[in-house]
Amino acid sequence: MHRVICGLILGLIVPVLAAAGDGAARREDEPLRGNWKAMSFQHKGQDAPIEEAQQADFTIEADGKLTLAMNSEKRKFSYVTDPDKAPKTIDITFEEGPLHGTKQYGIYKLEGDRLTLCLAAPKSAAEDRPKEFSTADKDYVLFVLQRIDPNK
């Protein structure tokens, strides 16, 4: 189960910051910046064991860069957000590994120091983007992340 979760996390959490001139996306990116710990993870309606989910740490940096660290592995991604959509959208691009260049489409919400991401499987079409924060009967993943540097 650990390998499955690790693979899904590495394969499903990755973002591509909005175009350089997109001020709205940059403003929305700012509150997302910081260090985050996965508090829970769900795939196809099934919860992962908490101790496995909490092994994933995320760092969201300026200019749409994201790093995922789990155990001794680190992966880099980029992302683009659209805060004007309801729910807010995130388009993720893998920056390395076997899925390099692959896009992944999702939605997100930020509530204080809690970030929730719901993502379609990599290589899914943009039309397959989740419409709600649920994985029931879908090949989606849902992460609930807690900020670990609350002074951001």
CATH of the domain at 55: 2.40.128
Least confident of 16-20, 103-107, 117-121: 16-20
Least confident of 15-24, 28-37, 65-74, 136-145: 15-24
The distance in angstroms from the start CA to the end CA of the chain is: 33
Q: What is the pLDDT of residues 59-88, one digit of tens each?
A: 998 888 999 898 889 999 999 999 889 999
- Domain range for 102: 2-147
* Dihedral angle over CA of 74, 77, 83, 85, nearest 10: -110
**Is residue 152 assigned to a domain?**
no
**Is residue 102 assigned to a domain?**
yes
152 pLDDT tier (thresholds 50, 70, 90): low
**Is residue 94 assigned to a domain?**
yes
**Is residue 131 assigned to a domain?**
yes
Least confident of 18-22, 43-47, 48-52, 113-117: 18-22
Domain count, the chain: 1
**Is residue 138 assigned to a domain?**
yes
**Is residue 126 assigned to a domain?**
yes
**Is residue 93 assigned to a domain?**
yes
Sign of CA dihedral 24, 9, 61, 148: positive
**Is residue 43 assigned to a domain?**
yes
53 pLDDT tier (thresholds 50, 70, 90): confident
